[in-house]
């Protein structure tokens, strides 16, 4: 990436401008990383841009921030690598997708290996989605449970304990 003009690419430039004008770290829309250029299907990555100003104290107005901007510090984030390292120890694999939905679309940033490799043959018993904002972007995480057949098999023990608990609750209450 040395010598690459990040400001020449629209998604990077948008995040760089937003960071400089807000005086806060901002994240780019999904981009391809220069290091992944030769791969057949690289997963999108994001870039965090933090503005650096000439003054030691952050400028208070947008105009001051524009005038005193020195440059940016950035960090490339490959969601694929980050998530796989941070979720490598669970006994049961967590199945989820992360999408950037900032502009109303849905750009896939990460997909669990089971989904990516087509290992999931049955639909999940339960699904849940959560939206959140991160550094100026809007993301959605879609979680999938195990397939219905696996959930039902595990629920046999649960069915045996619920009536006992309900009876104990009536006795206490």
Q: Which residues contact 34 (CB under 8 A, 6 or more apart)?
A: 1, 4
Sheet containing 26-27: give its strands across.
26-27, 46-53, 69-77
From first to last of its 173 residues, the chain has per-residue pLDDT tens of 677 888 999 999 999 999 999 999 999 999 888 776 666 666 788 999 999 999 888 788 988 998 999 999 999 998 888 887 777 766 666 788 899 999 887 888 888 876 666 666 678 888 899 999 999 999 999 998 888 777 777 666 655 555 555 554 444 44
Answering whether pTM is above 0.75, one says: no
């Amino acid at each position: 990436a040395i010598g690459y003009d990040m400001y020449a690419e629209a998604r990077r430039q948008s995040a760089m401008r937003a960071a400089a004008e807000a005086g806060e770290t901002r994240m780019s829309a999904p981009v391809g990383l220069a290091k992944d250029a030769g791969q057949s299907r690289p997963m999108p990555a994001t870039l965090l841009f933090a503005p650096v100003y000439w003054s030691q104290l952050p400028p208070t107005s947008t105009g001051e921030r524009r005038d005193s901007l020195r440059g940016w510090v950035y960090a490339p984030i490959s969601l694929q690598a980050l998530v796989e390292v941070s979720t490598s120890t669970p006994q049961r694999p967590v199945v989820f997708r992360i999408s950037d939905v900032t502009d109303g679309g849905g750009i896939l940033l990460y997909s669990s290996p089971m989904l990516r490799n087509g290992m999931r043959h049955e639909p999940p018993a339960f699904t849940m989605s959560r939206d959140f904002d991160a550094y100026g972007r809007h993301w959605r995480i879609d979680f999938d449970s195990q397939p219905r057949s696996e959930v039902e098999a595990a629920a046999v023990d649960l069915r045996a304990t619920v009536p006992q608990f309900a009876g104990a609750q009536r006795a206490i209450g």
